Structure 1
Amino acid sequence: MTGVLIADDDDLVRAGLRAILGAEDDLTVTGEVTDGADVVQAAVRRRPDVVLMDVRMPRLDGIQATRLLLDRFTADAPKVLVVTTFANDEYVYEALRAGASGFLLKRARPEQIVEAVRVVARGDSLLFPAAVRRLAASYGRPDGRIGRAELTAREAEVLTLMADGLSNAEIAARLVLGVETVKSHVGSILGKLGVRDRTQAVVVAYKSGFVSL
Protein backbone atom coordinates (compact mmCIF):
# COMPACT_ATOMS: atom_id res chain seq x y z
CA MET A 1 0.00 0.00 0.00
CA THR A 2 1.38 3.39 -1.01
CA GLY A 3 0.60 6.22 1.39
CA VAL A 4 0.05 9.70 -0.03
CA LEU A 5 0.07 13.05 1.76
CA ILE A 6 -1.82 15.80 -0.07
CA ALA A 7 -0.58 19.38 0.38
CA ASP A 8 -2.88 21.90 -1.30
CA ASP A 9 -4.76 24.96 -0.10
CA ASP A 10 -7.72 24.37 -2.44
CA ASP A 11 -10.50 22.34 -0.80
CA LEU A 12 -11.86 21.13 -4.13
CA VAL A 13 -8.46 19.98 -5.36
CA ARG A 14 -7.82 18.04 -2.16
CA ALA A 15 -11.25 16.45 -2.33
CA GLY A 16 -10.73 15.46 -5.95
CA LEU A 17 -7.31 13.96 -5.31
CA ARG A 18 -8.60 12.13 -2.24
CA ALA A 19 -11.43 10.59 -4.27
CA ILE A 20 -9.17 9.59 -7.16
CA LEU A 21 -6.50 8.01 -4.98
CA GLY A 22 -8.94 6.45 -2.56
CA ALA A 23 -10.57 4.49 -5.36
CA GLU A 24 -7.35 2.51 -5.92
CA ASP A 25 -6.65 -0.69 -3.97
CA ASP A 26 -2.92 0.02 -3.69
CA LEU A 27 -3.09 3.73 -2.76
CA THR A 28 -4.28 5.44 0.41
CA VAL A 29 -4.38 9.07 1.52
CA THR A 30 -2.60 9.18 4.87
CA GLY A 31 -3.15 12.88 5.50
CA GLU A 32 -3.90 16.34 4.12
CA VAL A 33 -2.48 19.79 4.84
CA THR A 34 -3.42 23.18 3.47
CA ASP A 35 -0.04 24.89 3.63
CA GLY A 36 3.59 24.05 3.01
CA ALA A 37 4.42 25.08 6.57
CA ASP A 38 2.61 21.98 7.83
CA VAL A 39 4.13 19.46 5.43
CA VAL A 40 7.16 18.38 7.45
CA GLN A 41 5.24 17.79 10.67
CA ALA A 42 2.55 15.85 8.81
CA ALA A 43 5.13 13.76 6.98
CA VAL A 44 6.95 12.90 10.21
CA ARG A 45 3.66 11.86 11.79
CA ARG A 46 2.07 10.08 8.83
CA ARG A 47 5.17 8.69 7.06
CA PRO A 48 3.78 8.91 3.51
CA ASP A 49 5.57 7.36 0.56
CA VAL A 50 4.61 10.23 -1.73
CA VAL A 51 3.71 13.88 -1.13
CA LEU A 52 1.49 15.56 -3.71
CA MET A 53 2.78 19.10 -3.31
CA ASP A 54 0.96 22.15 -4.60
CA VAL A 55 3.45 24.73 -5.86
CA ARG A 56 1.62 27.83 -4.66
CA MET A 57 0.42 27.89 -1.06
CA PRO A 58 -0.18 30.92 1.20
CA ARG A 59 2.41 30.84 4.00
CA LEU A 60 5.09 28.51 2.64
CA ASP A 61 5.22 27.52 -1.01
CA GLY A 62 5.86 24.04 -2.33
CA ILE A 63 9.49 24.79 -3.17
CA GLN A 64 10.50 25.72 0.36
CA ALA A 65 8.35 22.91 1.74
CA THR A 66 10.13 20.42 -0.52
CA ARG A 67 13.55 21.63 0.65
CA LEU A 68 12.55 21.44 4.32
CA LEU A 69 10.99 18.02 3.88
CA LEU A 70 13.98 16.44 2.14
CA ASP A 71 16.39 18.05 4.59
CA ARG A 72 14.39 16.59 7.50
CA PHE A 73 14.67 13.00 6.30
CA THR A 74 18.20 11.65 6.03
CA ALA A 75 16.84 8.30 4.84
CA ASP A 76 13.54 7.00 3.48
CA ALA A 77 12.40 10.48 2.49
CA PRO A 78 9.00 10.58 0.83
CA LYS A 79 8.97 11.28 -2.89
CA VAL A 80 7.65 14.70 -3.83
CA LEU A 81 5.37 15.05 -6.83
CA VAL A 82 4.69 18.71 -7.55
CA VAL A 83 1.19 19.60 -8.69
CA THR A 84 0.91 22.72 -10.80
CA THR A 85 -1.49 24.53 -13.11
CA PHE A 86 1.03 25.39 -15.82
CA ALA A 87 3.85 23.19 -17.15
CA ASN A 88 6.05 26.22 -17.77
CA ASP A 89 5.59 27.61 -14.28
CA GLU A 90 8.98 28.84 -13.05
CA TYR A 91 8.13 27.32 -9.69
CA VAL A 92 8.25 23.88 -11.31
CA TYR A 93 11.93 24.21 -12.18
CA GLU A 94 12.75 25.48 -8.72
CA ALA A 95 10.87 22.55 -7.19
CA LEU A 96 12.82 20.07 -9.32
CA ARG A 97 16.03 21.78 -8.29
CA ALA A 98 14.91 21.46 -4.65
CA GLY A 99 14.59 17.69 -5.06
CA ALA A 100 11.09 16.94 -6.33
CA SER A 101 10.82 13.70 -8.28
CA GLY A 102 8.61 15.20 -10.97
CA PHE A 103 5.58 17.32 -11.64
CA LEU A 104 1.97 16.78 -12.57
CA LEU A 105 -0.55 19.15 -14.11
CA LYS A 106 -3.77 19.75 -12.16
CA ARG A 107 -5.74 19.13 -15.33
CA ALA A 108 -4.29 15.62 -15.65
CA ARG A 109 -6.80 12.82 -16.04
CA PRO A 110 -7.47 10.59 -13.00
CA GLU A 111 -5.59 7.66 -14.51
CA GLN A 112 -2.58 9.90 -15.15
CA ILE A 113 -2.57 11.07 -11.54
CA VAL A 114 -2.74 7.51 -10.26
CA GLU A 115 0.05 6.35 -12.55
CA ALA A 116 2.23 9.34 -11.63
CA VAL A 117 1.97 8.48 -7.94
CA ARG A 118 2.87 4.86 -8.66
CA VAL A 119 5.81 5.89 -10.84
CA VAL A 120 7.50 8.04 -8.20
CA ALA A 121 6.61 5.63 -5.38
CA ARG A 122 8.56 2.83 -7.03
CA GLY A 123 11.64 5.02 -7.39
CA ASP A 124 11.29 6.32 -10.92
CA SER A 125 11.08 10.02 -11.68
CA LEU A 126 8.25 11.58 -13.61
CA LEU A 127 10.54 13.47 -15.95
CA PHE A 128 9.68 15.60 -18.93
CA PRO A 129 12.96 15.88 -20.85
CA ALA A 130 12.24 19.40 -22.11
CA ALA A 131 11.61 20.63 -18.56
CA VAL A 132 14.76 19.03 -17.20
CA ARG A 133 16.84 20.40 -20.06
CA ARG A 134 15.54 23.87 -19.28
CA LEU A 135 16.33 23.35 -15.62
CA ALA A 136 19.86 22.22 -16.43
CA ALA A 137 20.36 25.15 -18.79
CA SER A 138 19.56 27.53 -15.95
CA TYR A 139 22.81 26.47 -14.26
CA GLY A 140 24.90 28.01 -17.00
CA ARG A 141 27.72 26.50 -19.04
CA PRO A 142 28.60 22.78 -18.72
CA ASP A 143 31.00 22.19 -15.84
CA GLY A 144 32.49 18.86 -16.91
CA ARG A 145 31.56 17.30 -13.56
CA ILE A 146 31.05 13.80 -14.97
CA GLY A 147 34.03 12.16 -16.54
CA ARG A 148 33.21 9.02 -18.46
CA ALA A 149 35.80 7.19 -16.39
CA GLU A 150 33.56 7.68 -13.33
CA LEU A 151 30.82 5.53 -14.80
CA THR A 152 31.00 2.09 -16.34
CA ALA A 153 29.95 1.80 -19.96
CA ARG A 154 26.63 0.30 -18.89
CA GLU A 155 26.02 3.03 -16.31
CA ALA A 156 26.69 5.63 -18.98
CA GLU A 157 24.06 3.99 -21.19
CA VAL A 158 21.56 3.91 -18.33
CA LEU A 159 22.15 7.57 -17.43
CA THR A 160 21.69 8.63 -21.05
CA LEU A 161 18.35 6.81 -21.20
CA MET A 162 17.33 8.29 -17.85
CA ALA A 163 17.95 11.71 -19.39
CA ASP A 164 15.57 10.75 -22.20
CA GLY A 165 12.86 10.26 -19.58
CA LEU A 166 12.76 6.44 -19.67
CA SER A 167 11.62 4.50 -16.61
CA ASN A 168 13.54 1.56 -15.17
CA ALA A 169 11.25 -0.86 -17.00
CA GLU A 170 11.71 0.98 -20.29
CA ILE A 171 15.48 1.08 -19.84
CA ALA A 172 15.48 -2.65 -19.05
CA ALA A 173 13.56 -3.36 -22.26
CA ARG A 174 15.82 -1.11 -24.34
CA LEU A 175 19.05 -2.67 -23.02
CA VAL A 176 17.64 -6.21 -22.65
CA LEU A 177 18.33 -6.28 -18.92
CA GLY A 178 16.32 -7.21 -15.86
CA VAL A 179 14.57 -4.39 -14.03
CA GLU A 180 16.45 -5.22 -10.83
CA THR A 181 19.74 -4.95 -12.73
CA VAL A 182 18.74 -1.51 -13.98
CA LYS A 183 17.79 -0.47 -10.44
CA SER A 184 21.24 -1.56 -9.30
CA HIS A 185 22.89 0.54 -12.02
CA VAL A 186 20.73 3.54 -11.10
CA GLY A 187 21.71 3.18 -7.44
CA SER A 188 25.37 3.07 -8.40
CA ILE A 189 24.97 6.16 -10.60
CA LEU A 190 23.31 8.10 -7.78
CA GLY A 191 26.11 7.13 -5.42
CA LYS A 192 28.87 8.12 -7.81
CA LEU A 193 27.26 11.46 -8.61
CA GLY A 194 26.43 12.18 -4.98
CA VAL A 195 22.75 12.90 -5.66
CA ARG A 196 19.61 11.71 -3.94
CA ASP A 197 17.37 10.82 -6.87
CA ARG A 198 17.02 10.33 -10.61
CA THR A 199 15.91 13.87 -11.31
CA GLN A 200 19.05 15.30 -9.77
CA ALA A 201 21.19 12.74 -11.62
CA VAL A 202 19.71 13.82 -14.93
CA VAL A 203 20.24 17.49 -14.10
CA VAL A 204 23.90 16.72 -13.37
CA ALA A 205 24.15 14.80 -16.65
CA TYR A 206 22.95 17.86 -18.60
CA LYS A 207 24.80 20.38 -16.46
CA SER A 208 28.10 18.56 -16.90
CA GLY A 209 27.73 18.24 -20.66
CA PHE A 210 27.60 14.43 -20.37
CA VAL A 211 24.27 14.67 -22.19
CA SER A 212 23.81 17.48 -24.70
CA LEU A 213 21.17 20.14 -24.09
Structure 2
Amino acid sequence: MTQIGSREVPVDLRLTVAVCASNELVRRGLNSILDDLAIVGDDFYCESWEQACQLMSATPVDILIIAEAGYGGCQLPDGVQTKVLVLVDATDLRTALKDAPPWAHGFLARQDLTPTSIDEAVRRVAVGKSQIPARLASELIRRAATPLPARAARPAKLTSRESETLALLADGLSNKQIARRLSISDHGAKRLVASLLLKLGSPNRTMAVVTAIKSGLIEPSLL
Protein backbone atom coordinates (compact mmCIF):
# COMPACT_ATOMS: atom_id res chain seq x y z
CA MET A 1 0.00 0.00 0.00
CA THR A 2 1.44 3.37 -0.99
CA GLN A 3 1.43 5.88 1.84
CA ILE A 4 1.20 9.58 1.24
CA GLY A 5 2.63 12.00 3.77
CA SER A 6 4.63 15.15 4.41
CA ARG A 7 6.89 16.60 7.09
CA GLU A 8 4.42 19.23 8.30
CA VAL A 9 3.21 16.94 11.11
CA PRO A 10 5.52 14.65 13.14
CA VAL A 11 5.86 11.32 11.35
CA ASP A 12 4.99 9.36 14.49
CA LEU A 13 1.66 11.16 14.90
CA ARG A 14 -1.44 9.24 13.87
CA LEU A 15 -4.81 10.93 13.66
CA THR A 16 -8.26 9.47 14.14
CA VAL A 17 -10.38 10.69 11.24
CA ALA A 18 -14.14 10.31 10.78
CA VAL A 19 -16.18 10.93 7.64
CA CYS A 20 -19.81 12.02 7.68
CA ALA A 21 -21.57 11.27 4.38
CA SER A 22 -24.92 9.68 3.56
CA ASN A 23 -23.71 8.56 0.13
CA GLU A 24 -22.06 5.14 0.24
CA LEU A 25 -19.90 5.78 -2.84
CA VAL A 26 -18.53 8.96 -1.26
CA ARG A 27 -17.73 7.10 1.96
CA ARG A 28 -15.98 4.30 0.07
CA GLY A 29 -13.99 6.75 -2.03
CA LEU A 30 -12.76 8.66 1.00
CA ASN A 31 -12.08 5.36 2.77
CA SER A 32 -9.77 4.31 -0.04
CA ILE A 33 -7.87 7.59 0.15
CA LEU A 34 -7.65 7.80 3.94
CA ASP A 35 -6.35 4.24 4.19
CA ASP A 36 -3.32 5.34 2.15
CA LEU A 37 -2.49 8.44 4.21
CA ALA A 38 0.46 8.04 6.56
CA ILE A 39 -1.04 10.50 9.04
CA VAL A 40 -4.28 8.52 9.51
CA GLY A 41 -4.27 5.85 12.20
CA ASP A 42 -7.95 4.97 12.58
CA ASP A 43 -10.83 6.04 10.36
CA PHE A 44 -14.57 5.81 10.92
CA TYR A 45 -17.56 6.41 8.66
CA CYS A 46 -20.98 7.80 9.60
CA GLU A 47 -24.12 7.97 7.48
CA SER A 48 -25.69 10.84 9.43
CA TRP A 49 -24.88 13.72 11.75
CA GLU A 50 -26.52 11.82 14.61
CA GLN A 51 -24.11 8.91 14.10
CA ALA A 52 -21.17 11.32 13.88
CA CYS A 53 -22.18 12.97 17.17
CA GLN A 54 -22.51 9.60 18.88
CA LEU A 55 -19.07 8.60 17.62
CA MET A 56 -17.38 11.87 18.68
CA SER A 57 -19.01 11.66 22.12
CA ALA A 58 -17.78 8.10 22.65
CA THR A 59 -14.41 8.15 20.86
CA PRO A 60 -11.74 10.87 20.63
CA VAL A 61 -11.86 11.95 16.97
CA ASP A 62 -9.15 14.35 15.78
CA ILE A 63 -10.67 15.32 12.43
CA LEU A 64 -14.23 15.05 11.13
CA ILE A 65 -14.66 15.39 7.37
CA ILE A 66 -18.16 16.55 6.42
CA ALA A 67 -18.49 15.39 2.85
CA GLU A 68 -21.82 16.91 1.81
CA ALA A 69 -24.03 19.96 2.27
CA GLY A 70 -26.80 20.33 4.81
CA TYR A 71 -24.91 20.66 8.10
CA GLY A 72 -24.84 24.44 8.45
CA GLY A 73 -27.29 24.44 11.35
CA CYS A 74 -25.70 21.54 13.24
CA GLN A 75 -23.70 21.89 16.43
CA LEU A 76 -20.84 19.84 17.84
CA PRO A 77 -21.70 17.95 21.05
CA ASP A 78 -20.65 19.69 24.27
CA GLY A 79 -17.07 18.98 25.24
CA VAL A 80 -16.06 17.60 21.84
CA GLN A 81 -12.72 19.00 20.62
CA THR A 82 -12.86 17.49 17.13
CA LYS A 83 -11.65 19.74 14.29
CA VAL A 84 -13.93 19.86 11.27
CA LEU A 85 -12.95 19.89 7.59
CA VAL A 86 -15.82 20.60 5.19
CA LEU A 87 -15.90 19.60 1.52
CA VAL A 88 -17.57 22.34 -0.54
CA ASP A 89 -18.75 22.61 -4.13
CA ALA A 90 -16.44 24.99 -5.98
CA THR A 91 -19.05 25.47 -8.73
CA ASP A 92 -21.58 26.87 -6.24
CA LEU A 93 -19.53 28.62 -3.59
CA ARG A 94 -22.34 31.03 -2.77
CA THR A 95 -24.45 28.14 -1.48
CA ALA A 96 -21.40 26.47 0.06
CA LEU A 97 -20.57 29.55 2.10
CA LYS A 98 -24.16 29.93 3.29
CA ASP A 99 -24.47 26.28 4.28
CA ALA A 100 -21.02 25.73 5.81
CA PRO A 101 -20.98 25.30 9.61
CA PRO A 102 -19.74 28.53 11.26
CA TRP A 103 -17.48 26.43 13.49
CA ALA A 104 -15.63 24.71 10.62
CA HIS A 105 -11.84 24.64 10.91
CA GLY A 106 -11.13 24.25 7.20
CA PHE A 107 -12.61 23.88 3.72
CA LEU A 108 -11.62 21.79 0.73
CA ALA A 109 -13.12 22.10 -2.77
CA ARG A 110 -14.72 18.82 -3.82
CA GLN A 111 -13.52 19.36 -7.39
CA ASP A 112 -9.91 19.52 -6.19
CA LEU A 113 -9.96 16.26 -4.22
CA THR A 114 -6.84 14.18 -4.59
CA PRO A 115 -4.94 12.03 -2.08
CA THR A 116 -2.36 14.80 -1.80
CA SER A 117 -4.89 17.61 -1.30
CA ILE A 118 -6.75 15.66 1.40
CA ASP A 119 -3.46 14.80 3.12
CA GLU A 120 -2.37 18.45 3.13
CA ALA A 121 -5.77 19.69 4.33
CA VAL A 122 -5.94 17.16 7.18
CA ARG A 123 -2.42 18.04 8.28
CA ARG A 124 -3.04 21.79 8.20
CA VAL A 125 -6.24 21.52 10.20
CA ALA A 126 -4.58 19.12 12.67
CA VAL A 127 -1.89 21.66 13.57
CA GLY A 128 -4.33 24.56 13.79
CA LYS A 129 -3.57 26.24 10.47
CA SER A 130 -6.27 27.83 8.34
CA GLN A 131 -7.36 25.77 5.33
CA ILE A 132 -9.21 27.65 2.60
CA PRO A 133 -9.15 26.55 -1.06
CA ALA A 134 -8.03 29.16 -3.60
CA ARG A 135 -11.43 29.20 -5.33
CA LEU A 136 -13.20 29.94 -2.05
CA ALA A 137 -10.70 32.68 -1.19
CA SER A 138 -11.25 34.24 -4.63
CA GLU A 139 -15.01 34.31 -4.11
CA LEU A 140 -14.60 35.89 -0.70
CA ILE A 141 -12.27 38.51 -2.16
CA ARG A 142 -14.87 39.30 -4.84
CA ARG A 143 -17.48 39.75 -2.13
CA ALA A 144 -15.12 41.92 -0.13
CA ALA A 145 -14.86 44.27 -3.12
CA THR A 146 -18.63 44.85 -3.01
CA PRO A 147 -19.57 47.84 -0.79
CA LEU A 148 -21.43 46.85 2.36
CA PRO A 149 -24.92 48.29 2.95
CA ALA A 150 -24.84 51.45 5.07
CA ARG A 151 -26.42 49.67 8.01
CA ALA A 152 -24.15 46.65 7.83
CA ALA A 153 -21.84 46.41 10.83
CA ARG A 154 -18.15 45.95 10.21
CA PRO A 155 -15.94 44.13 12.70
CA ALA A 156 -14.22 46.24 15.33
CA LYS A 157 -11.15 48.14 14.19
CA LEU A 158 -7.90 46.23 14.51
CA THR A 159 -4.64 47.53 15.92
CA SER A 160 -1.62 47.55 13.63
CA ARG A 161 -0.26 44.48 15.45
CA GLU A 162 -3.57 42.65 15.06
CA SER A 163 -3.63 43.50 11.36
CA GLU A 164 -0.14 42.03 10.96
CA THR A 165 -1.27 38.92 12.83
CA LEU A 166 -4.37 38.62 10.65
CA ALA A 167 -2.25 38.70 7.49
CA LEU A 168 -0.06 35.91 8.90
CA LEU A 169 -3.14 33.89 9.85
CA ALA A 170 -4.39 34.23 6.28
CA ASP A 171 -1.03 32.86 5.16
CA GLY A 172 -1.63 29.77 7.31
CA LEU A 173 1.03 30.40 9.96
CA SER A 174 0.85 28.79 13.39
CA ASN A 175 1.16 30.74 16.67
CA LYS A 176 4.85 29.84 16.97
CA GLN A 177 5.52 30.96 13.41
CA ILE A 178 3.63 34.21 14.02
CA ALA A 179 5.71 34.78 17.16
CA ARG A 180 8.95 34.33 15.23
CA ARG A 181 7.79 36.54 12.35
CA LEU A 182 6.74 39.36 14.71
CA SER A 183 9.68 38.82 17.10
CA ILE A 184 7.41 38.33 20.09
CA SER A 185 6.86 35.52 22.58
CA ASP A 186 4.64 32.52 21.87
CA HIS A 187 2.33 33.79 24.61
CA GLY A 188 2.15 37.20 22.93
CA ALA A 189 1.21 35.60 19.61
CA LYS A 190 -1.44 33.51 21.34
CA ARG A 191 -2.95 36.63 22.92
CA LEU A 192 -3.02 38.44 19.57
CA VAL A 193 -4.79 35.52 17.86
CA ALA A 194 -7.28 35.26 20.73
CA SER A 195 -7.99 39.01 20.45
CA LEU A 196 -8.59 38.65 16.71
CA LEU A 197 -11.03 35.77 17.17
CA LEU A 198 -12.93 37.82 19.75
CA LYS A 199 -13.10 40.99 17.63
CA LEU A 200 -14.13 39.08 14.50
CA GLY A 201 -16.64 36.95 16.40
CA SER A 202 -15.07 33.76 15.04
CA PRO A 203 -14.75 30.39 16.79
CA ASN A 204 -11.44 29.47 15.12
CA ARG A 205 -8.65 30.72 12.88
CA THR A 206 -10.14 29.62 9.56
CA MET A 207 -13.46 31.34 10.19
CA ALA A 208 -11.59 34.46 11.34
CA VAL A 209 -9.88 34.61 7.94
CA VAL A 210 -13.20 34.00 6.17
CA THR A 211 -14.85 36.81 8.17
CA ALA A 212 -11.92 39.14 7.53
CA ILE A 213 -12.04 38.57 3.76
CA LYS A 214 -15.81 39.07 3.67
CA SER A 215 -15.40 42.33 5.58
CA GLY A 216 -12.61 43.65 3.41
CA LEU A 217 -9.99 43.51 6.17
CA ILE A 218 -7.66 41.35 4.06
CA GLU A 219 -6.39 42.62 0.74
CA PRO A 220 -6.23 40.19 -2.23
CA SER A 221 -2.43 40.66 -2.35
CA LEU A 222 -2.16 38.97 1.03
CA LEU A 223 -3.54 35.65 -0.23
TM-score (norm 2): 0.71
Q: Which residue of 1 aligns with 2:102?
A: 98
The amino acid that maps onto 2:84 is V
Q: Distance in 1 between matches of 2:123 and 2:35?
A: 13
Distance 1:112 1:196, change over 3 A: same
Q: Deviations over 1:34-55 (max 9, x none)?
A: 1234322222122211111022
Q: Percent identity?
A: 27
| 2:138 aligned residue (122, 125, 130) | 130
CA distance in 1, matches of 2:185, 2:31: 31
Q: Provide the C-alpha distance between the structure 2 equivalents of 1:100 and 1:136, rounded to a whole number of angstroms.
A: 20
- In the alignment, which of 171, 181, 190 is matched to residue 175 of structure 1? 181
Q: Is the 8 A contact 1:2 1:26 kept in 2?
A: yes
Offset of 1:154 from its aligned partner?
2.3
Number of the residue aligned with 2:26: 13
Counterpart contact for 1:132–1:202, Cα < 8 Å: no
Shift of 1:63: 2.2
Displacement of 1:80? 1.5
Seen in structure 2, the aligned counterparts of structure 1 residues 210 and 41 have a Cα distance that, compared at 3 Å, is: same
1:150-200 CA-to-partner distances (Å, cap 9, x unmatched) read x4x3221111343xx411159649936589578523234224444211133
2:164 to 154, 157, 160: 157
Q: How many residues align?
A: 199
How much has 1:114 moved relative to structure 2? 0.9
Which residue in the other structure is 1:210 paired with?
Answer: 217
Q: Unaligned stretches of 5+ in structure 2?
A: 1-13
Matches within 5 A, 1:36-185: 36-56=49-69, 61-64=70-73, 67-69=74-76, 72-73=77-78, 75=79, 77-96=81-100, 98-107=102-111, 108-128=113-133, 129-133=137-141, 140-141=148-149, 143-148=153-158, 151=159, 153-162=160-169, 165-168=170-173, 172=178, 175=181, 180=186, 184=190, 185=192
From the superposition, tell whether residues 133 and 78 of structure 1 become closer, same or farther in structure 2 (CA, over 3 Å).
Answer: farther
Question: SS in structure 2 opposite 1:143?
Answer: coil
Please give the alpha-carbon distance, in whole angstroms, between the structure 2 residues aligned to 1:22 and 1:192: 40
Q: Which moved more, 1:179-188 or 1:46-55?
A: 179-188
Gap change, CA 1:98 and 1:25, over 3 Å in 2? same
The question of whether the paired residues in 2 share the 8 Å contact of 1:7 and 1:33 is answered with: yes
Taking a change above 3 Å as real, the CA distance of residues 84 and 101 of structure 1, as seen in their structure-2 partners, is same
Assess if the C-alpha contact under 8 Å between 1:4 and 1:29 holds in 2.
yes
- Structure 1 gap segments, 5+ residues each: none
Cα distance in 2 between the residues matched to 1:125 and 1:94: 19
1:79 deviates by 1.7
Q: Secondary structure at the match of 1:28?
A: strand
What SS does the corresponding residue of 1:82 show, helix, strand or coil? strand
